[in-house]
Amino acid sequence: MTYLRYSAILTVLMKSEKISELTTSRLSVYLRCLNALHAAGIKTISSQALAEQFNLNSAQIRKDLGYFGEFGVRGVGYYVADLRDHITKILGLDSPHRVGIVGAGRLGTALANYNGFARSNFTVAAVFDNDRQKIGGRIGDAKIAVHDVDQLAKVIREESIDVMVIAVPAKAAQRVLNQVMSAGIKAVLNFAPVSLTSRRGVKVKTVDLTTSLESLSYFLSQPSSVAVTQPRSHSRSEESFPQRRKGAKAENL
Amino acid sequence: MTYLRYSAILTVLMKSEKISELTTSRLSVYLRCLNALHAAGIKTISSQALAEQFNLNSAQIRKDLGYFGEFGVRGVGYYVADLRDHITKILGLDSPHRVGIVGAGRLGTALANYNGFARSNFTVAAVFDNDRQKIGGRIGDAKIAVHDVDQLAKVIREESIDVMVIAVPAKAAQRVLNQVMSAGIKAVLNFAPVSLTSRRGVKVKTVDLTTSLESLSYFLSQPSSVAVTQPRSHSRSEESFPQRRKGAKAENL
DNA sequence: CTCTGTGAAGTCATTCACAGCG
DNA sequence: CGCTGTGAATGACTTCACAGAG
């Protein structure tokens, strides 16, 4: 099957294993790093050198990549431009995504203006709200139109939106998610601090600021500030650091 | 040791095990739920009933709580108000925290106005920037003062800030983190899309929107949209759902 | 008889360690 | 000889299953 390796679709099907979200998150991080290396004119990099950037194990990187093919060259490492292209395809970032944001509050507005999206081939195509004051207006430098939430399905279709961001108050979030799912959306990034129920085939990723902060609070309340184990992998920020230690890394993807 | 159980400090020291961040994140979620139950006038709840709220295993909840003491009553469950108080203490949310935000851009401003913080005993006490235009001003409804980043250490001391939020561009983040650490801060929430190096005893939690979105993109690019395994625990949003299934949950703490 | 608390088993992720390619 | 790719070993987290308290 080696000769099929460079097909984006086949890459993904090569092994029937399911890929953990931990792996895809790391791929995203590797990609960011590879882009920087490429911009710096660096041509090749070993898994060891790449691992040092994030304080993770080089075997982890090789394993992550190994799920999708054999991209390295023994005795050399990985060609930066080549690996970058592969990961871009693996993550589906070679084709553009269009994003809709529900909630034109402060967070929604900040996200609508977030420039980091464009770099990954994401474009914010529409914002939705239920506030008559905001509907019909435009926000941000890009003058993105604010639509009535009732027009969700219609606008999603017209604008070919495939990813939705939920930035509404907690009590409205499930209702909004239901509407979003009805409109056929399969990927949702949720900022409302609630546990949402999604249906099969719909991926909801929640970013919960309250939980993040409260978790930090627990850490602060620990006597020595060293009684928290890391969630896994990377981010061995504190104690329990093995032999090598040149400064800990903070991740939490 | 049972008679010491109700001391906040002892609670934390009871077992010498290290507590995973996965556990503390879930505690935060339980707490939110308990607050809602309390407000709804519900007096007791079993681990089974609580688990159903998040589609996680009831043993998981009992285990999480078990690290800190025995809070339940056999045959009955947990007293809502009682458990709420315990978790509040465990997470260190019984004493207030003061938050500083570096970066008065859109995200920093949105965060400065985020009301969700107050509920958990967090107060945003100061914002920092390096833009002369912004320094000396005040932002948000609460009119929080914007300080020069050069005054970081001084203001942190004066305002008794113990948690810092980094909301600056990626290339400035490490420098800011270094300053923040020098000022003695032990807990940092980072929104810059970079892997930061922290020193021992300093906890950095990164919220990386790009990585979250790119991870969603991978999911979208999967043929059947069912080839992604869950990170662990909850959030068994798709396929591979065991026997019971009344609708999947989306977490990802 | 119900529901907690917890060892034991099971599942999944990371790290080790090395064969073997370039 | 260096570095990848990968089975095997280790470690972490979750779920099972049940003794025993109320």
Q: What is the pLDDT of residues B177-228, one digit of tens each?
A: 999 999 999 999 999 999 999 999 999 999 999 999 999 999 999 876 544 4
Asked if residue B71 keeps its beta carbon closer than 7 A to nucleic acid strand C, the reply is yes
Chain A, 222-241: which have a CB under 8 Å from a chain B CB?
222-223, 225-231, 234, 237-241
- In this prediction, residue A8 has a pLDDT band, given cuts at 50, 70 and 90, of very low
With respect to residue B24, please indicate whether it lies within any of the assigned structural domains. Answer: yes
CA A33 to C1' C18 (Å) is 29
Interface residue A52 vs chain B (CB under 8 A): no
Q: Is there a single domain that holds both residue B206 and residue B135?
A: yes
Q: Is the pLDDT of residue A1 over 50?
A: no
pLDDT of residue A250: 35
With respect to residue A228, please indicate whether it lies within any of the assigned structural domains. Answer: no
User: Tokens 């934390």, residue?
Assistant: B12
Instruction: Name B197's bridge partners.
Output: A249
Contact B238 A200 (CB under 8 A): yes
pLDDT of residue A233: 41
Contact B223 A252 (CB under 8 A): no
- Candidate from B90, B202, B234 with C-beta closest to A218: B90
Chain A, 74-103: which have a CB under 8 Å from a chain B CB?
90-93, 97, 99
Q: Tens digits of per-residue pLDDT, B20-54?
A: 999 999 999 999 999 999 999 999 999 999 999 99
Per-residue burial over A73-92, b if 16 or more Cβ lie within 10 Å, else e, is eeeebbbbeebbbbbbbbbb
Interface residue A41 vs chain B (CB under 8 A): no
Q: Closest Cα of chain B to A18: distance in Å?
A: 5
Q: Tens digits of per-residue pLDDT, B135-180?
A: 999 999 999 999 999 999 999 999 999 999 999 999 999 999 999 9
pLDDT of residue B158: 98
By DSSP bridging, strand A228-229 and strand A203-206 are unpaired
Min mean pLDDT across A49-53, A117-121, A184-188, B193-197 is at A117-121
Contact A216 B163 (CB under 8 A): yes
Per-residue burial over B76-104, b if 16 or more Cβ lie within 10 Å, else e, is ebbbbebbbbbbbbbbbbeeebbbbbbbb
- How far apart CA A51 and CA A58 sit, in angstroms, is 5
DSSP character string of B57-92: -HHHHHHHHHTT----BTTTBEEHHHHHHHHHHHTT
Q: Is there a single domain that holds both residue A126 and residue A173?
A: yes
| Boundary-marking domain end, from B73, B90, B107 | B90
Q: Is there a single domain that holds both residue B105 and residue B186?
A: yes
| Boundary-marking domain end, from A39, A64, A90 | A90
Q: Is there a single domain that holds both residue B171 and residue B156?
A: yes
Q: Is there a single domain that holds both residue A51 and residue A147?
A: no
Q: Is there a single domain that holds both residue A197 and residue A107?
A: yes
Element (H, E) at B138: strand B138-139
Interface residue B7 vs chain A (CB under 8 A): no
CA B68 to C1' D11 (Å) is 23
Q: Is there a single domain that holds both residue B102 and residue B85?
A: no
Contact A213 B122 (CB under 8 A): yes
Judged on CB neighbours under 10 Å (0-12, 13-18, 19+), B225 is middle
Taking residue B51's Cβ as centre, other Cβ atoms within 10 Å add up to: 19
Three-class SS of residue A86? helix
Q: Closest Cα of chain B to A148: distance in Å?
A: 22
With respect to residue A33, please indicate whether it lies within any of the assigned structural domains. Answer: yes
In chain B, the number of structural domains is 2
The CA-atom distances, in angstroms, between A222 and each of A197, A227, B43, B58 are 33, 6, 30, 26
What CATH number has the domain bearing residue B50? 1.10.10.10
Contact B25 A211 (CB under 8 A): yes
- Candidate from B91, B212, B237 with C-beta closest to A214: B91
DSSP character string of B14-59: SS-PPEEHHHHHHHHHHHHHHHHHHHTT--EE-HHHHHHHHT--HH
Q: Is there a single domain that holds both residue B19 and residue B69?
A: yes
By DSSP bridging, strand B187-190 and strand B144-148 are unpaired
With respect to residue A250, please indicate whether it lies within any of the assigned structural domains. Answer: no
The average confidence (pLDDT) of chain A is 86
Q: Is residue B153 a contact partner of residue B141, using CB atoms and an 8 Å limit?
A: no
**The residue type at B196:** L
Q: Is residue A231 a contact partner of residue B21, using CB atoms and an 8 Å limit?
A: yes
**The residue type at B36:** A
What CATH number has the domain bearing residue B182? 3.40.50.720
- How far apart CA B188 and CA B57 sit, in angstroms, is 31
With respect to residue B12, please indicate whether it lies within any of the assigned structural domains. Answer: yes
With respect to residue A247, please indicate whether it lies within any of the assigned structural domains. Answer: no
Domain around B187? 97-210
Three-class SS of residue A26? helix
Contact A223 B13 (CB under 8 A): yes
